[in-house]
A and B are shown apart, each in its own frame.
Chain A
C-alpha cells in the first residue's frame, strides 16, 4: 500500500517535471529534406522501371512494354501447360511404333530359320 502511494507520487512528480520541458519545434528544413528523400525514392523506382522498359521497347510509353511482357508471359505459360502433354503423347506413339518394328523383324527372322 505504502509502495503504491510512493509509486503514485513518483508518477505525479514525473508528469509535473516533464511538463516543464518546452515543446520541440519542427524546422522547415527538416520537412523539406524528408520530402526530398521521398522524391528521390520515387524517381529511383521509376528510373529502374524506365530503363528496363527502354531495353525492351525504346521510347515507348511504359504500358506498351508492360503489356507485351504480360502477353508473352501468358503465351509462355499456355504453351508450357499444353506442350508437355503433346510431347509425351508423341513420344509414346514413337515407342509403340519402334516396338512393333522389332516384333515384325523378329517374326521375319523366325520365318527364315
Chain B
C-alpha cells in the first residue's frame, strides 16, 4: 500500500472541500466500471435499476468524502463495495427471474442475421449469469469485467482470497454447466 498510493486519495480530499472539477474527474474515472458491475449484477432487471444503484453510490461519496481517511483501504475498493451493497439490496427487494423465463423474453430490438445471433447469445449468457447466486456472480464480474486482482475483488466483497477463489470456481462451473446444457438442448 505504501509503495502504491491510492490514485483517488487527492481527488476525494478535494471533493470533501466541495471541488466540482474533482467530483467530475472521479466520476468519469469510475462510472463505466461501476455501471458495468451494477448492470451485470442486476442483469435480470431494468437497466434503470443499475443506474440508480450507481447514482446512489456516488451520492454516498459526495456526502462522506469530507470524512474519508486515506490509507485505510483503497477508495476504489470501498466504491465497489458500496455498489455491490446497493445491488444486493435491490436483489433482495424483488425475486430473481429464472433462466427459462429470461430465455423466453423476446428481444425488444430484433435485428437481422449475425447481429440477432450475437444479441441472442449475449442475452443467454446474461441470463445464465443472472441465475447464479449473487456472491458467485459478484466474484465473476469483479474478476472478469473489472479485471481486478483476486485480492482487490476479495477486499471489495469483504471476504478472504480463499473464499473468493472458491466462489469463482463454483461460479465458473455453474456457468459452464448451464450454458452447455442450453447449447445441447
* A residues lining the B interface (CB < 8 Å): 7, 9-11, 13-15, 17-18, 20-24, 26-27, 30-31, 33-35, 37-39, 41-42, 45-46
* B residues lining the A interface (CB < 8 Å): 15, 18, 20, 23-24, 27-28, 31-32, 35-36, 39-40, 51, 54-55, 58-59, 62-63, 118, 121-122, 125-126, 128-129, 140, 144-145, 168-169, 171-173, 175-176, 179
Q: Known: A26-B32, A38-B20, A41-B59. Contact between A17 and B175, CB under 8 A?
A: yes
- How far, in angstroms, from A30 to B57 measured CA to CA in the complex? 12
- How far, in angstroms, from A15 to B27 measured CA to CA in the complex? 28
Distance to closest chain A CB from B154 (angstroms): 17
Distance to closest chain B CB from A94 (angstroms): 50
Interface pair B55/A33, CB less than 8 Å apart = yes
Which of the listed residues B40, B54, B172, B176 has the most CB atoms from chain A within 10 Å of its own CB? B172
Q: Known: A14-B144, A20-B121, A20-B122. Contact between A35 and B51, CB under 8 A?
A: no
Interface pair A14/B18, CB less than 8 Å apart = no
Q: From the candidates B54, B128, B144, name the one contacting A30 in the complex (CB within 8 A).
A: B54
Chain A residues within 8 Å of B122, by CB: 20-22
Q: From the candidates B24, B32, B121, name the one contacting A35 in the complex (CB within 8 A).
A: B24
- How far, in angstroms, from A42 to B14 measured CA to CA in the complex? 12
Q: Known: A13-B176, A38-B20, A38-B23. Contact between A18 and B169, CB under 8 A?
A: no
Distance to closest chain B CB from A48 (angstroms): 13
Q: From the candidates B31, B62, B179, name the one contacting A38 in the complex (CB within 8 A).
A: B62
